Chain A
Amino acid sequence: MSTLSLIIKQIINALQLGSIFALIALGYSMVYGIIRLLNFAHCDIIMVGAYISWYFMTNFANMPYLAVAAAIFGCTLLGVAIEKVAYTPLRGSPRISLLITAIGVSYLLENTAQLWLGAAAKSVPPFFKVTTLSFMGLSVSTTSVVTIAVVTVSMTALTLLVQKTKMGRAMRAVSEDSQTAQLMGTNINATISFTFAIGSALAGIGSVLYCCAYNQASPTMGSMLGLKAFVAAVLGGIGSIPGAIVGGFVIGLTEVFVSSIGLSTWKDAVVFLILIIVLLVKPTGLLGKQVNEKV
């Protein structure tokens, strides 16, 4: 294989990994944007999504669409339920209470999964027959192509939703100034729930794509994936949707690059090094805005 095709192959790998990070980072960023909460339970929603995929693919192997739909729907429902049960009662409490609750919900989900389904990873059957496409001397797996395509479509849809619809406008308004948004007649509870629903649906899509790539589900799978997506969100500028996308791809590229030069054991360390550097040099992230706290 020539050097060029090797590089292109690695770039495709990076895009695949980066697009999963970006999808998950969006969930962190959207929720942070609207209620200023780092929703640490977000990564475990992905884990639940992976288990839903596992359940349906194991029991109804000939209906992959059912598994995909169930995973996305299940994640959406779970995200909204967490918001209603755990976060809504704390509206108006100090932010630290919300943060601690989020960490609590995260542990609750992980440990419930472990107790119920065991600590060992379950193998998720493939959703579709993975083949290798050859194109001008390059070989690319269909998983990469599907992942990149699905993420591109999801992000386009999200951008249109946020920029062009009434609900999207309400989301942006609430995230900027929730009190004034209420004075315009926005139902703030509905807007927040909607944001959680969208963020969690993206996590659901992410969980399916993760299963496509790695074929397994385990109770703690969300934590490393979620942490890296969180780094991606901070790198891009937490609260910013384009920032989350850019951050996701940068983290994906970094991981693949570090692995491909033979330092794969260092890849996690490098990602967290990026977090430290961002927080020291530009805490608002690449595309984040300096927000003036309201008095």
Chain B
Amino acid sequence: MLKVDNINVYYDNIHAIKNLSFEVMDGEIVTLIGANGAGKSTTLKTISGLLRTKTGGIQFMGEELKSTAPHKIVAKGLVQVPEGRRMFQNLTVEENLEMGAFTMPPNEIPDLKDDIFRRFPRLSERRKQVAGTLSGGEQQMLAMGRALMSRPKLLMLDEPSMGLAPLLVDQVFGIIAEMHSSGVTILLVEQNASMALAVADRGYVLETGKIVLSGSGKELRESDQVKKAYLGG
């Protein structure tokens, strides 16, 4: 479904992503794990078109995205929930959801909104509140709800568990599993490797812009290298 083929991304002179290739198949949950600064978010930003690769290509459902504008990539069904949730703090919950449906025909928006409010009753209670007043957990729900408003085919989640209490982390991973079972393919970027590998079909380990290891979720969880570096022994 998504094929990242030998990309190289630079921040000015810093070579952030080096010859990176990986693939996500239809219906999978794939995770990219790695430490801070390994290039996980950079990879997602490049796929979304916010950054550009110097080489190689990025194919989504057979189409080349290398030089497609970010808003057109969203319209194709490849949607990202950015790191740190990035709510529009001054917009209401409802307006944030409407922003998520920016690429959708206006007549479908009420149904999409109802669907999100059914999934996240908490957001429904707060629909007229500005997003800046929500708690961290509620903001993460809104971030995921907002992304679902565009009926994504592939959802890329950047560190959805970041900064959340353990109970909320479980809840977030529950929502990811639920989205997946409703037919959304998922590319999950996480520092919380144990949680990510537990839900993922396959995973890739990223270190300083390169993939150093790949395999099924189970294989990676049992690998000594991963255990030592990411699972705390």
Contact = CB atoms under 8 A, between A and B. Distances in A.
A187 B71 contact: yes
B89 A176 contact: yes
Nearest to B150: A185
B99 interface: yes
A166 B95 CA distance: 10
B99 A186 contact: yes
A189 to B, nearest CB: 8
Contact of B91 (A172, A188, A289): A172
A180 B143 CA distance: 11
Given A183-B70, A183-B80, A184-B146, A170 B90 contact: no
A184 B146 CA distance: 8
B91 A180 contact: no
Interface stretch (B100-108, B113-121, B213-221): B100-108
A64 to B, nearest CB: 38
Contacts of A289: 90
Contacts of B106: 166
A142 to B, nearest CB: 40
Nearest to B106: A166
Contacts of A185: 71, 74-75, 102-103, 150
B70 A173 contact: no
B164 interface: no
Nearest to B100: A184
A253 B57 CA distance: 60
A176 B88 contact: yes
A183 B88 contact: no
A177 B48 CA distance: 16
Contacts of A172: 88, 90-91, 95
A169 interface: yes
A182 interface: yes
A179 interface: yes
Interface in A188-207: 188
B82 interface: yes
Contacts of B102: 166, 170, 184-186
Nearest to B90: A176
Contact of A182 (B71, B95, B150): B71
Contacts of A181: 88, 99
B89 A173 contact: no
B190 interface: no
Contact of B74 (A177, A179, A184): A184
Given A169-B98, A169-B99, A170-B99, A182 B70 contact: yes
B50 to A, nearest CB: 6
Nearest to B69: A187
B157 interface: no
Interface residues of A, number: 18
A169 B74 contact: no
Contacts of A180: 82, 86, 88
B139 to A, nearest CB: 12
A180 B95 CA distance: 14
A186 B79 CA distance: 12
Contacts of A173: 88, 91, 99
Nearest to A191: B71
A169 B80 CA distance: 20
Interface in A77-117: none
Nearest to A189: B69
Considering residues B49, B88, B98, B103, which has the most beta carbons from chain A within 10 angstroms of its beta carbon? B88
Contacts of A170: 99, 102
A176 B100 contact: no
Interface string B21-63: 0000000000000000000000000001110000000000000
A185 B102 CA distance: 6
B82 A179 contact: yes
Contact of B86 (A166, A177, A186, A187): A177
Contact of A179 (B50, B79, B103): B50
Identify the interface centre among B75, B79, B102: most chain A CB within 10 Å of its CB.
Answer: B102
B90 A186 contact: no
Contacts of B50: 179, 182-183
Interface string A164-175: 001001101100
Interface of B: 48-50, 69-71, 74-75, 79-80, 82, 86, 88-91, 95, 98-100, 102-103, 106, 146, 150
Given A173-B91, A176-B91, 20 more contacts: A166-B98, A169-B95, A170-B99, A172-B95, A179-B82, A180-B86, A182-B48, A182-B70, A183-B48, A183-B70, A183-B74, A183-B79, A183-B80, A183-B86, A184-B74, A184-B99, A184-B102, A184-B150, A185-B71, A185-B150
14 contacts: A166-B102, A170-B102, A173-B88, A173-B91, A173-B99, A176-B88, A180-B86, A180-B88, A182-B49, A182-B70, A183-B80, A184-B74, A184-B103, A187-B71
